Structure formats: C-alpha cells, structure tokens
C-alpha cells in the first residue's frame, strides 16, 4: 500500500527496505536507544530484515501496517510509521488503532513525523472507519511530544510510572488521541 502527502511517500515495508532501515537506525541509535530497547549499538542488517518479516506478517494478518517514510522528491528514507489495529478484547466494538513513528536523526525536526502520522490518521478515518486513534510517548520524550501535538493528537492522560526505559529508569507514559 502507498499513501502520499505533499512531501512524503508512505510505502508498505518491503525486504528491499532493509538496508535503508539498518542505516537509519545506525545513524539514530543514540537517540532511539533512549526510548526503544530494540535500538542497540550492535543493530545489524539481519535485525532489519527480521523487523520487515514481522511487519509483513502483521500486515497480512491485518494486525498492523508498517510504512517506510520517504521523500517524494528524492526517495530518501526518513523513518518508519506504524498503524496498529487494537483488537476488541473487552467487547467495546470501537474501531480503534494505535500509531507510532520514528524519524532518522538527519531528518528530525522538520515535521516529517507529524505529516506522516496525520496521513495515517486520515487513512484510519476514511478507509478503516476508525473512531479512535491513539499513541503513547514517554513523558520526557520532547521530540515525540512535539510530533504528536503537530499531528493533531490531544493529550488525554499521563500514567505515572507506567514504563521502564531501556536504562532501567521508571517513566511516565503520555496517552495522545484523535477521536471522531
């Protein structure tokens, strides 16, 4: 699947993206490793390939849709965004999705993550008939907080000591949402 904005192409992740993902993680590992346990100094091409295999499997099962974010003008890889279906485990019957994103360091701070998330939310609304889209960020992750705000999500709650960061420290989780 392919989604487009004025500046970006969001394309379903394929095995041909492995080197781009690997290089993006390596470039950004110091920042990413603060928030994500999978982002380690020894991250390698095989791990990128395993990530893609899992993303393709989730897409085929309609569990999640992982997209590479690329520049429309140059084709340069900028990051990853994901739209994950939240199953109806409690009988709520609310069409609900979770979004997440990371943008490589060299492209950060230019609004690409927010632009990609807006497009995912639009897709969830118009195509998947979502009534709720949410995201979670660490309360101290100022870049992610800015991305969520620029994407039009609203701060809904802050859960105290709800996550453990890769360094072992306790952190609050902020819940962001878009509702129809």
Backbone angles phi and psi of 54, in degrees to 5: -65, -40
The alpha carbons of the chain give a radius of gyration, in whole angstroms, of 16
How far is it, in rounded angstroms, from Cα 80 to Cα 48?
A: 12
Residue span of the structural domain in which 119 resides = 2-179
Whichever domain contains 109, its CATH number is 3.40.630.30
Count of beta carbons in the 10 Å neighbourhood of residue 68: 23
Q: What pLDDT is attached to residue 88? A: 80
Tokens read off for 154 = 């609203």
How far is it, in rounded angstroms, from Cα 97 to Cα 126?
A: 13
Q: What pLDDT is attached to residue 83? A: 98
Residue 87 has pLDDT above 90, yes or no: no
Q: What pLDDT is attached to residue 90? A: 79
Residue 105 has pLDDT above 80, yes or no: yes
Span 91-113, average pLDDT:
95
Confidence label for 92 from pLDDT (cuts 50, 70 and 90): confident
How far is it, in rounded angstroms, from Cα 111 to Cα 129?
A: 26
Helix (H, G, I), strand (E, B) or coil at 49: helix
Tokens read off for 164 = 């453990």
- How many domains does one find in the chain? 1
In the chain, what is the greatest distance between 2 CA atoms, to the nearest angstrom?
45
pTM: 0.94
Confidence label for 97 from pLDDT (cuts 50, 70 and 90): very high
């Amino acid at each position: 699947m392919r989604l487009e904005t004025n500046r970006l192409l969001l394309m379903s992740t394929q095995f041909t993206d492995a080197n781009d993902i690997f290089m993006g993680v390596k470039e950004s590992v110091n920042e990413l490793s603060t928030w994500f346990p999978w982002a380690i100094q020894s991250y390698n091409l095989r791990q990128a390939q395993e990530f893609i295999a899992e993303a393709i499997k989730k897409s085929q099962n309609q569990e999640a849709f992982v997209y590479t974010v690329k520049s429309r003008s140059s084709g340069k890889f900028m990051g990853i965004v994901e739209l994950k279906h939240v199953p109806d485990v409690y009988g709520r019957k609310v069409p609900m999705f979770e979004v997440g994103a990371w943008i490589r360091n060299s492209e950060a701070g230019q609004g690409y993550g927010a632009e990609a998330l807006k497009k995912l939310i639009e897709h969830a609304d118009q195509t998947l008939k979502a009534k709720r889209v949410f995201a979670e960020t660490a309360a101290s992750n100022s870049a992610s907080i800015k991305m969520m705000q620029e994407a039009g999500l609203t701060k809904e709650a802050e859960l105290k000591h709800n996550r453990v960061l890769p360094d072992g420290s306790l952190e609050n989780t902020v819940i962001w949402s878009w509702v129809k």
